[in-house]
Amino acid sequence: MSATPGTGLGAMLRTWRERLPPSAAGLPVARGRRAAGLRREELADLAGVSVDYVVRLEQGRATTPSASVAASLARALQLSTAERDHLYRLARLVPPVDGTISDHLPPGVQRVLARLGDVAVAVFAADWQLVWWNRGWAALLGDPAASPPRLRNFARDRFPVDAGPARLARWPVTEADRDATDVAVVSDLRRATGRFPRDRRLAVLIRELNAGSEKFAALWATGEVASHREDHKTIHHPSVGPVTVDCDLLTDGDSELKIIVMTAVPGSEDETKLRLTAIAGPPVAPHPDTDATGRPEAGPPAQDRA
């Protein structure tokens, strides 16, 4: 028996794309625009995949996207949790279940983030995997788009197990800031193991960092459990010099997404510098030609951020 028309993966992706106005995704709306919803290239840019891949998905020539691609599409389309789970099933994937970490960004949270303008904001999953960031974040800390998605993890940055460069915070901070952040991240990861005991990605992360980083292993051995809430950082930006910011962390509830907001004291020199970084944009290397899984993908480079 053939599938009911309009209910397959491609048809649903097209339906969800056409119902989402660009303004809801934080995109400018040009005068005289004919498309009410997102264009394919806009969805590709938001989801971090090539336009060609979006076309193949909608036409049914690609039917089994990876879990990371499905998660990126769900975020870009601002799907509800039920719609996200339906997307996973259409892609022949098992939806996230209780006890595992979710990368899903609820539509209401996305709308709030879109209204923050140039404030430096990023969203991390419970295991410190980067889920979303804006242009203000990229301008202040460097653009994460230059690294494969699977490597965009703040804990991996703090405790590298190879000789690779930092991927999420490219400019140096003070030693005191580094030490305090390291302790906070490790204790927060230990707390996450109790909250998400069935999550394989978290288990692999901790196992690899324990084996590859002496500093992580030493901090992990202390057994400290805590949640990371707020911090202060001095970032040595290559264009504007040192910028001292308040780093506040908000969570969205059960999924424990971490919304990191960086601001400076109003009227201060640091606030001026922060604005200058947003104007200048991120001074980074070009984005590699990869899809949302980090694998080479046909078509032009794409970005994850909205």
Tokens of 154: 């703040």
Higher pLDDT, 26 or 261: 261
Say what the pLDDT of residue 264 is.
93
* CATH class entry, domain 107-280: alpha beta
Answering whether pTM is above 0.75, one says: no
Q: b/e per residue, 252-287, with b = 16+ CB within 10 A?
A: beebbbbbbbbbbeeeeebbebbeebbeeebebeeb
Say what the pLDDT of residue 1 is.
40
- Rounded Cα distance, 200 and 284, in Å: 32
pLDDT tens, residue by residue, 200-217: 999 999 999 999 999 999
Q: Residue 287 pLDDT more than 70?
A: no
Structural domain spans, the chain: 9-90, 107-280
Say what the pLDDT of residue 177 is.
66
Average pLDDT over residues 122-129: 94
Query: Is residue 301 a contact partner of residue 51, using CB atoms and an 8 Å limit?
Result: no
9-90 with 107-280: one CATH topology? no
Say what the pLDDT of residue 122 is.
93
* CATH number of this structure's domain 9-90, picked from the four choices 3.30.70.1230, 1.10.260.40, 3.40.50.920, 2.40.50.140: 1.10.260.40
Query: Over the chain, what is the mean pLDDT?
Result: 82
Instruction: Say if residue 149 is exposed, middle or buried (CB neighbours under 10 Å; 0-12, 13-18, 19+).
Output: buried
